[in-house]
Structure 1
């Protein structure tokens, strides 16, 4: 079936059927996650607000041995694209040939590097290998491009070319053009062709995409880094810290005013290295996202959005390492990334945080795309400035949003008392009620926001979340922890302005029943899957599951009882009782040594478990640990001070799990944000172990 929907772009934004379009894109590496669980994970991404899934097609994962292609199991690209389409998601394929992605040799197979040519050059022998690879990939993609009714709307060529390796100048531009011609010749006929555009990278005339991370675990230093520029409002689009381990380009090689400001690598988290282990918190990513919106970004593309695990290799392990010629050592298996959705499919606090912006963009994004950025002269450009308040405005005419960020990762910002925020507009300034702005606050407020056809919200000291589209009038949902002070001009009619707390907004999920939209607030994720909504909850022996819904549902959901009202919300609850697995931790004294401690975990699932998953939660101290199932290494973790969770369903709910913890010593050349108290000899121990079962309940 041909697809008549049109995707394009202007110099300011992407378009869909000729209208401004602001999508949210999230990176998910299918070959780093079990194919049995792709569908549930893609539905989780969609529930968190992702519209487009981006994914590297990692060469070494598909052709580790020359001429022997592997497109089955977790490497089944065709199945992944079919699944994405089923879940209602669009796809951006990043086909390399070089990807980096913390993969062995940047994704190049060993055999390619053993050839007598230099990769990533215009050598015809190298390009013939790329041509053959592109053509083989397309065999899996054929029929699933957008023009054929499939989900694939875009292709990224190469990665950081001219910035991290490759040719520069006109030679580099020609190389990128050659690669694009090879991709098109192989059959990749898509609306969008992109190339990473930061740090001197060349783009071959393709749509440039940008990035930004809250820290740099690839930095060789094991000390605190300089404050990140990604928390100040600026017209500068280039993050010079990305890829600085592999080479440093300068500036941009393309005219920034000819292309929209699109991000493809906003760090949805950060992957730790052996020598440097920053922990990306939800606020780190949330404040960075808000700042990029204020700076003018018109695509939020997160890398990673879903964590994963490196697959087993035939000839070698598949992670980036110093042994393979890279400056960093990565975990052999774990690619968790502290992502919004973690290595074993857990929706994290970061996922809840980023959902705030995705929900806003789904309902307000079309008008938002057309709003230009204005940065006040007194808004500091130096991330070391922790005293002055940072702000920016995006507006079209008199309508727009004021952005304020008083957050800088790893820094204490000054508190500001009784601040009157002002916005300069063509037809006169607007002021908000005086308020205190504390260290760590970040928010955005609307001004002159149309509310239906006959009313305008002049200002509100609250952030817009979403619109509930209902036959009896729209509901505009705002959030924040201050008095909203709605100032309205005109008659909104049946349209209502609703204000909820920020915490409720983080746990809010939009649901559809029939033709009506509702807002549900629940402490557990609510995921729409195949036309039904399911709640993913973890439980002890007995617990009451509560969901608050606005407006009240026409009928009480099966299995629930209506238990009253709380403000605008109607409460529905269900008493649940589920089995909680028990776990027994035993130290294997005879197999332990001075440098490592070995443990066996025995699990008792009580009876045939109906759980979606069972998670082991390990609180440990050590340099790192390794996970073994039936004697085979299946996972690992570099210590950061966080509790490590292991999802057991992918291993068939084993009865025994073996863990090896390696000793952490005071003198190790490792950056930790917070070191544990260590005795002189160091430590390698599991301090606490619990097991939690996760269940689904349809609502």
Structure 2
């Protein structure tokens, strides 16, 4: 997606349109005020490598005006510098300017002084009361000072503004009074200078939108749900034209229906859960497959923008007067960690690239190359597709398709059959020898795929009559990954697919491939692949590490090594790189490329340099009582050529905090996962080492806490560290 200052950006009931062409963007949320400024560029490049086009972000009022009249847009809170970095990294942005944000922030992002002022003077926030709007206007004006010159019309990255959040669902007014308030805020923003082609508003749960472009959401679980038991199956794993997620914000009340006319707006998402932020009482773990299956279902249900909240986790800044997280003490329904906003996101609190990152990258790879063509393929409900998530037996399918004109004048249906047999935390029925069939909206059979077994946890989509170049159509029982342009240096393209089945891939090509090629790889290879461009040619890089294109254009391979181990970095590439990287040897050239080639087409590269994780991480028990266990954490001998060192603390307890010089530097609610902490933000250089105190509070039998897996409790409680280990991260340039 390329947008210039001269571009015309609009939308119709189908999709966003840029310069007359439909676009299918990928969007991810990152909060600049929750991440150290000196690492913004690196993290934004990771986001782009993960497939993100648009960075959405809250401007959280309390982070910038905690004390009335004392605005702080410096350092990690500098919106202007963040937008400059977004532009440098070749990304776009949607500003979510509130004034109320939620985002698990204190008072939903409202400063304490605003609420006290409203109480003292007898006005209601989030209304058209002039006394409230006066404060909002000042906040908007200060925010605009930061954003001025960074709108798309100025050559900057900002293409959209979101007004308010969940208004009329989580607080605020309903009906015409609510609609008018949304219009008031939009008009105020426009008058101040927020001149962007897109104005959006969240549309789920009965929220009002003021006529702005509604964006939707969907989470795989609900850590805000007041229950501490396993909850019912999520409806976000069902194919349906229903865009609403009734469960978002259900701690404030059950979500109502849609307040806008869905026939007038495209199906766009802004808050697909890239993970889940745990609360004190509810601590589910969102996996990469949880997010990937939900994303595919939304795409198969007609979504034409995939936006993730959060895409990048972070850490709450320290407040001048209070901690800045949501708490029950402030009247909100949940207690959150004072600092950690990890979210189990694709990129986590310390920039970790883990399974969810790879799963979302795989989907975005398809979207970038084929999403625009799919935009005007409407969702077609399929016979037998269940509409309730508690149906764990029937096969869930959908179709997105349209008619194409063939060279001989005939028409055919072209599109995708989506199949989901995945329901988070529930077992789906297995099916043997299923003949998967795509139906048109009139009930006509438009494609039958070869029989296959369908197992619990399977989800995928197959193309039928998919254009390959200008002269061929392909039907194949494999899932599209990407298209590698000019892969042979002669202008031809390679179309890459993955198969998740043990059976041989079966395909049908109509027409002339005209020099283009089709390559099939395994799902594991696809998940670990990144499409990069080097010297004007596309390549597919497959590695246990992650290939990230830096802002200067160099492709860097991030790789990690566990305690006391050594390795040489390795990667595979298709096709063979035109120039072997200076720090690598080529062990094998790519095999001969023929249609439907398998994974042996990859060239193999091994690093010349061996890297070692020399880190020594240790812990020592200091004090123990019924209320807590205290430990001393020490880390030394970190490799000086590492780009980051993560310590993994395997502890058992209710929650934990880490202190240096008496100040909390990190905290964590126990979920059963190891606590991962990146050390580079805490040390001047690896040779400095790291030490801190850790305090654990006990997890006790009978606590009103939901955990997916409880540890074994001895004498009714547990509060200890079992082990500590390290993971050293390194980088090598491969372009």
Superposition TM-score, scaled by structure 1 size: 0.98
Please name the residue that 2:527 is paired with: 506
Please name the residue that 1:488 is paired with: 509
Q: Does 1:103 align with 2:124?
A: no
Please name the residue that 1:536 is paired with: 558
Please name the residue that 2:410 is paired with: none
Unaligned segments of structure 2, at least 5 residues: 404-412, 590-598
Which secondary structure does the structure 1 equivalent of 2:496 belong to? strand
> Over residues 163-216 of structure 1, what are the superposed CA-to-partner deviations in whole Å (9 max), with x where a residue is unaligned?
111111111111000000110111101010000011111111000011011111
Asked if the contact 1:580/1:692 (under 8 Å) is kept, the reply is no
> Over residues 455-484 of structure 1, what are the superposed CA-to-partner deviations in whole Å (9 max), with x where a residue is unaligned?
110x21100000000042100000122222
C-alpha separation in 2, matches of 1:155 and 1:606: 43
Please name the residue that 1:637 is paired with: 668
Q: Does 1:647 align with 2:701?
A: no
Equivalent runs, 1:356-371 vs 2, <5 Å: 356-371=362-377
Please name the residue that 1:602 is paired with: 634
Equivalent runs, 1:32-431 vs 2, <5 Å: 32-115=34-117, 116=121, 117-397=123-403, 398-425=413-440, 429-431=446-448
C-alpha separation in 1, matches of 2:141 and 2:75: 20
Q: 1:125 to 1:20 in 2, by over 3 A?
A: same
Please name the residue that 1:658 is paired with: 693
Asked if the contact 1:641/1:674 (under 8 Å) is kept, the reply is yes
Match of 1:587 among 621, 626, 630: 621
Please name the residue that 1:444 is paired with: 461
User: How much does 1:658 deviate?
Assistant: 1.4
> Over residues 490-531 of structure 1, what are the superposed CA-to-partner deviations in whole Å (9 max), with x where a residue is unaligned?
110210000000010011111222121111101011100011
Which secondary structure does the structure 2 equivalent of 1:567 belong to? helix
> Over residues 8-53 of structure 1, what are the superposed CA-to-partner deviations in whole Å (9 max), with x where a residue is unaligned?
1111100111100000000000000000100000000000000000
Please name the residue that 1:462 is paired with: 478
Unaligned segments of structure 1, at least 5 residues: none
Asked if the contact 1:59/1:107 (under 8 Å) is kept, the reply is yes
Which secondary structure does the structure 2 equivalent of 1:245 belong to? helix
User: How much does 1:605 deviate?
Assistant: 2.2
RMSD between aligned alpha carbons?
A: 1.3
C-alpha separation in 1, matches of 2:638 and 2:415: 57
Asked if the contact 1:89/1:151 (under 8 Å) is kept, the reply is yes
Match of 2:704 among 646, 662, 669: 669
C-alpha separation in 2, matches of 1:688 and 1:331: 23
Asked if the contact 1:65/1:109 (under 8 Å) is kept, the reply is yes
Asked if the contact 1:581/1:604 (under 8 Å) is kept, the reply is yes
User: How much does 1:537 deviate?
Assistant: 1.2
Asked if the contact 2:399/2:439 (under 8 Å) is kept, the reply is no
Q: 1:694 to 1:630 in 2, by over 3 A?
A: farther
Q: 1:606 to 1:76 in 2, by over 3 A?
A: closer
Q: 1:585 to 1:358 in 2, by over 3 A?
A: same
C-alpha separation in 1, matches of 2:622 and 2:126: 49
Q: Does 1:577 align with 2:611?
A: yes
Please name the residue that 1:552 is paired with: 576
> Over residues 52-106 of structure 1, what are the superposed CA-to-partner deviations in whole Å (9 max), with x where a residue is unaligned?
0000000000000000000011100000000000000000000000000000000
Please name the residue that 2:407 is paired with: none
C-alpha separation in 2, matches of 1:261 and 1:606: 48
C-alpha separation in 2, matches of 1:395 and 1:58: 41
User: How much does 1:580 deviate?
Assistant: 2.0
Please name the residue that 2:593 is paired with: none
Aligned length: 695
Asked if the contact 1:371/1:395 (under 8 Å) is kept, the reply is yes
User: How much does 1:564 deviate?
Assistant: 2.1
Asked if the contact 2:397/2:418 (under 8 Å) is kept, the reply is yes
Q: Does 1:624 align with 2:643?
A: no
Asked if the contact 2:249/2:255 (under 8 Å) is kept, the reply is no
Asked if the contact 1:122/1:175 (under 8 Å) is kept, the reply is yes
C-alpha separation in 2, matches of 1:506 and 1:2: 32
Which secondary structure does the structure 2 equivalent of 1:274 belong to? coil
Asked if the contact 2:586/2:604 (under 8 Å) is kept, the reply is yes
C-alpha separation in 2, matches of 1:83 and 1:340: 20
Asked if the contact 1:296/1:394 (under 8 Å) is kept, the reply is yes
User: How much does 1:2 deviate?
Assistant: 8.0
Q: 1:606 to 1:454 in 2, by over 3 A?
A: closer
Superposition TM-score, scaled by structure 2 size: 0.93
> Is 555-564 or 21-30 further displaced after alignment?
555-564
Q: 1:58 to 1:606 in 2, by over 3 A?
A: closer
> Over residues 281-308 of structure 1, what are the superposed CA-to-partner deviations in whole Å (9 max), with x where a residue is unaligned?
1111011001000110011010000000
Asked if the contact 2:55/2:93 (under 8 Å) is kept, the reply is yes
* Structure 1 runs of 4+ with >6 Å offset: none
Asked if the contact 2:581/2:733 (under 8 Å) is kept, the reply is no
Please name the residue that 1:568 is paired with: 601
Match of 2:450 among 433, 436, 454: 433
Please name the residue that 1:476 is paired with: 495
Match of 1:612 among 640, 643, 652: 643
Which secondary structure does the structure 1 equivalent of 2:145 belong to? helix
C-alpha separation in 1, matches of 2:387 and 2:74: 49
User: How much does 1:578 deviate?
Assistant: 3.3
> Over residues 359-403 of structure 1, what are the superposed CA-to-partner deviations in whole Å (9 max), with x where a residue is unaligned?
001000111101011111310001011111000000012010000
Which secondary structure does the structure 2 equivalent of 1:430 belong to? strand
Please name the residue that 2:32 is paired with: 30
Which secondary structure does the structure 2 equivalent of 1:317 belong to? coil
Please name the residue that 1:515 is paired with: 536
Which secondary structure does the structure 2 equivalent of 1:697 belong to? strand
Match of 2:713 among 673, 678, 684: 678
